[in-house]
Amino acid sequence: MKGEDIKDNEVYQILEKIDDNTWNVPVTYKSTMNVPGRIFVSSELMKDLEKETLDQMANVASLPGIQKFSMAMPDAHLGYGFPIGGVAAFDKDEGVISPGGVGFDINCGVRLLRTNLQIEDTRPYINQLVNNLFNKIPSGLGSKSGLKVSDAELDDVFVHGAQWAVDNGYGVKADVEHCEGNGLIEGAEPSQVSKEARKRGRPQLGTLGSGNHFLEVQYVDKIYDEYIASDFGLEEGQVTVSIHCGSRGAGHQICSDHLRELTQAVKKYGIQLPDKQLACAPANSREAQNYFKAMACAANYAWANRQVINHWTREVFENIFGKDIDMNLVYDVAHNVAKFEEHTINGEKKQVYVHRKGATRAFPPEHPELSDDYQQSGQPVLIPGSMGTPSFVLHGTKDSMDISFGSACHGSGRLMSRKHAKKELSGEEIQKELASKGITVKVANPRMISEEAPEAYKSSSEVVDVVHDVGIARKVARLSPVGVIKG
Amino acid sequence: MSSHGTEKFEFLEHTADAQFRAYGNTLEEAFENAALAMFNVMVDTDSVSDSVSESINIESPDLDILLVDWLSELLYLSDVNHSVYSTFNVESIKEQDGRYFLSAQIYGETLNLDKHEIDTEVKAVTYNQLEVRKLSNGWMLQVVVDI
């Protein structure tokens, strides 16, 4: 796949250059396309871009009511249905809602906590920290939460999201204010959640899960923008924690249940699909709205999940370092979600369902959805690196609303299949290599290490540089890992 | 395209997810092998005994959805029972008045991290590149699962 020259890659023959980092999939690429595709990618990242990713962008561009472009972020790669890294907005009346545009792990997302600890003072405690976090926060396949919720409590989780956790003693009010949308999508209706999804959801609230999900202890190793960094409470040398996880089995089941309904709705509404995974229904139809109500439940569950894990993380830190460590939430963003938003399209204000599948919301300064303290800076945009590589904090810009429906990338993007990564890279070697870089890794399943090795991913700094240069979010700080726990 | 011969299933290369093809002389056998392939993404099924069992009955509007429903039901049972499964006995797949019915008995074991070689969690079964194809000498099923 990896070509030496950009022109060797067949995608170069398909794409139309707009500028160095902006390329179009022409609307003529497939006869079914309603709008062109648009991908933000550097020539370096283009070398690893798969033609199938463009095909998937073209498929999304063929759905009814899509606005402006079927977009893909620089970390885009082949997904199922929609590409991973895809952003698409659909008109609320003429458009559709598609579970495939969100994915199975509804509201998979990331939150960033800061402390007033300095890395030099913390290093001697990293092993202890990582061990205690690993023991406190259930991770891995089949892990069970220490938290037991009843069916009635689960309803409250579905409806109230992060606020439920805070109301039940897991965190403080400021945590909720520093979540995207206050840790809530409105309109959640637990009646649209099956008993199977409930049964999976009840024992898993407060678990990290497996796969690429992680909890990472980091420090700020570089500041790009002093002014905005101080708005976010970030400074060089400071210890931070990132938590990356989603809605667990509840979300997977909710997506599966409604996807099945929508494969039938497609026939009812006579929608032509190039791929069944794009199953969708008119946005205002009963089927699509039922999915949206259930998706909101899963999204809210995920916010409550990250909030509970946030609380336990705080407890572990405070047990070692005491209560005065100012462990505050910088922000929490979703990167697999569909949201009802207002955007200006061709000079006209329009209400749309923005699907972000492996893409982060990146709202500009003065946006009414942001809390007071981020009105000047714009939204913190959190971009986790792959295991052992830096994460980035960016801030939303005015341009992002125009360019990308207020969206940016979500991570580094896979390069190597998991199967291939396992063959190429031994878990032990990777763990040793990370240890030599001062990174302690504690993992429920050692085989996961090779699957999620840094080499299996695109470079996160390259991805973030494209986002920065295009201007859809601007770099604020870089975070370097020192301890990782994984499923 | 490879013919199945004695091969129960094979994995294909996929950047983000796991894609496999399962084969069988009968549709029932192909469904059994698809289940085996999916659980092999999660665990070395040779390390899983037959100590717990579940009965499964599914009704679906077409064969494609029956395949997704079958595998999704297995994931659901695995998740809520904290179990992994390794033996699949699909007793029958029948069509009646345009609907498809499957009945099966499955066997496995409660998840034991000391005993089972755990690999990757399968999140869900997708409809992406889904195929149920009749071959001259049996059936081929193609599935992408989200991991």
pLDDT in tens, A35-70: 999 999 999 999 889 999 999 999 999 999 999 999
β-pairing, A328-334 vs A109-118, is antiparallel
**Concatenated DSSP letters of A27-87:** TTSSTT-SS-EEEE--HHHHTT--HHHHHHHHHHHTSTTB-S-EEEEEEEE--SSSPEEEE
Tokens of A365: 């300064």
Burial code (b: 16+ CB inside 10 Å, e: under 16) for A426-464 equals ebeebbeebeeeebbbbbbbeebbbbbbbebbbbbbbbb
Amino acid (1-letter code) at residue A108:
C
A232 close to A330: Cβ distance less than 8 angstroms: yes
Q: How is residue A162 written in tokens? A: 């992060």
Please check whether residue B4 lies inside any domain of the structure. Answer: no
Report yes or no: A298 at the B interface, CB cutoff 8 Å: no
Q: Which of B10, B39, B120, B147 to mutate to test the interface with A (most CBs of A within 10 A)?
A: B120
**Segment B43-75, tens digit of pLDDT:** 999 999 999 999 999 999 999 999 999 999 999
Alpha helices by DSSP H, A276-377 = 286-321
Quick one: average pLDDT of A86-105?
97
pLDDT above 60: residue A229: yes
Least confidently predicted of A106-115, A317-326, A409-418: A409-418
The pLDDT value recorded for residue A357 is 97
Indicate the residue of B17, B76, B124 with minimum beta-carbon distance to A255: B124
CA distance B126 to chain A (A): 7
Neighbours of A270 (CB within 10 A): 6
Backbone angles phi and psi of A106, in degrees to 5: -60, 130
Flag whether pLDDT at A427 surpasses 70: yes
- Interface membership of A475 toward B (CB under 8 Å): no
Q: How many CB atoms lie within 10 A of CB A221?
A: 15
Instruction: Please calculate the CA angle A211-A112-A309 and round it to the nearest 5 degrees.
Output: 60
Count Cβ atoms below 10 Å from residue A34 Cβ, excluding itself. Answer: 14
Instruction: Please give the positions of A annotated as active site.
Output: 410
pLDDT digits over B118-138, tens only? 888 899 999 999 999 999 999
Q: Percent of chain A, pLDDT > 70? A: 96
Does B37 map to a domain? no
Query: Mapping DSSP to helix (H, G, I), strand (E, B) and coil, where does residue B136 land?
Result: coil
Identify whether B123 is part of a domain. Answer: yes
CB contact under 8 A, B16 and A419: no
Query: What is the domain extent for residue B72?
Result: 9-29+48-146
Residue A423 makes CB contacts below 8 A (sequence gap 6+) with none
Q: How many domains, in total, are found in chain B?
A: 1
Q: Which of A211, A260, A416 sits opposite B121 (nearest CB)?
A: A211
Q: What is the largest CA-CA distance in chain B?
A: 48
Average pLDDT estimate for A96-122: 97
Residue B3 within any structural domain of the chain? no
Of A175, A338, A149, A333, the closest CA to residue A251 belongs to A338
Fill in the DSSP letter of residue B122: -
pLDDT range class, residue A105, cuts 50, 70, 90: very high
Q: Which residue has the higher pLDDT, A3 or A367?
A: A367
Question: How far is the CA of B7 from the CAs of A46, A188, B89, in angstroms?
Answer: 37, 46, 18
Q: Is the pLDDT of residue B37 over 80?
A: yes
Amino acid, single-letter form, for residue B29: E
CA nearest neighbour of A97 among A449, A337, A315, A374? A337
d(CA B53, CA B105): 7
pLDDT of B5 reads 60
Instruction: Assign residue B23 the CATH number of its domain.
Output: 3.55.10.10
ipTM attached to this prediction: 0.94
Report yes or no on B42 lying in a domain.
Answer: no
pLDDT (tens digit per residue) in A309-327: 999 999 999 999 999 999 9
The stretch A189-205 carries a mean pLDDT of 97
Q: How confident is the model at residue B4 (pLDDT cuts 50, 70, 90)?
A: low
* Helix/strand/coil for A419: helix
Q: Which of A141, A195, A414 is most worth mutating to test chain B (most B CB atoms within 10 A of its CB)?
A: A141
Residue type at A169 in one-letter notation = G
Does any CB of chain B come closer than 8 Å to the CB of residue A415? yes
In a domain, B115, yes or no: yes
Whether the pLDDT of residue A411 is over 60: the answer is yes
For the segment A80-109, the average pLDDT, to the nearest whole number, is 96
Q: Say whether B82 and A142 touch across the interface (CB within 8 A).
A: yes
Give the distance, in angstroms, between the CA of residue A172 and the centroid of all CA atoms in the same chain.
23
Tens of pLDDT along B20-34? 999 999 999 999 999
Interface of B with A (CB under 8 A): 11, 13-18, 42, 61, 64-65, 68-69, 72, 75-76, 79-80, 82, 111, 113, 117-121, 123-130, 144, 146-147
How confident is residue A145, by pLDDT bands cut at 50, 70 and 90?
confident
- Cβ atoms of residues A307 and A168 within 8 Å: no
- Answer whether residue B106 is part of any domain: yes
Q: Nearest residue of B to residue A201 by CA position?
A: B80
Q: What are the chain B neighbours of A277 within 8 Å (beta carbons)?
A: 126-128
pLDDT of residue B1: 41
Report CB contact under 8 Å: B144, A279.
no
Of A50, A264, A487, the CB nearest to B61: A264
Cα angle value A273/A276/A281 (rounded, 5°): 65
Beta pairing class for B131-135 and B83-96: unpaired
In a domain, B130, yes or no: yes
**String of DSSP letters for A228-267:** HHHHTT--TTEEEEEEEE--HHHHHHHHHHHHHHHHHHHH
**d(C-alpha A453, C-alpha A458), whole Å:** 11
The per-residue pLDDT of chain A, averaged, comes to 93
In this predicted structure, the answer to whether residue A190 has a pLDDT above a threshold of 70 is yes
